[in-house]
Structure 1
Amino acid sequence: MKFISPKIDYAFKKIFGSEQSTDILISFLNAIIYGGEKVIQSLTIVNPYNPDQLSRGEWPFAPTLDVKAVLADLENWLEENSSS
């Protein structure tokens, strides 16, 4: 059985891009960005789709995963994951 690599945009978004996976996404980002320190306290997945794209006939399903995070010092942080 073959698996899709999580390095592929679609797979990454499937793994980390749902409300059910916020805990694992927080752990992943803390590990990658902050060396395992629990800096990110909470996050919200931001819908990156713009309704205007649909009316212009553009492909609305960009391979992005936007998150808004609250850090330990209560600072807000916005991250966009995309590999265009």
Structure 2
Amino acid sequence: MIIRFRSFSDSQLQEMLDSLVEQQVSGVASISQNGETITFSTPEKIERAIQALEREITRREDAAAGRTRRRSYVSYPTGGKGWH
């Protein structure tokens, strides 16, 4: 399931993050917002949800402070002179 962050306020995102972190130890976690419940049934899914929430919260904080993050791109040689 994909969480659409746009529909949540900053405080709602923080509440979801806090809840998931508290529940992470049990191996099963769920969050409820706007009448919907999302259940994460494996530690990996819980961790991915936590990371996604942390990224979104950081993105919003950076935007509010006028900071932008650059994406780094890796370039690879594409076969040409000297490429074997």
* Fold match (TM-score > 0.5): no
**Normalized against structure 2, the TM-score is what?**
0.27
Q: Which has the higher strand share?
A: 1
Normalised TM-score (structure 1): 0.27
Structure (1 or 2) with the greater helix fraction: 2
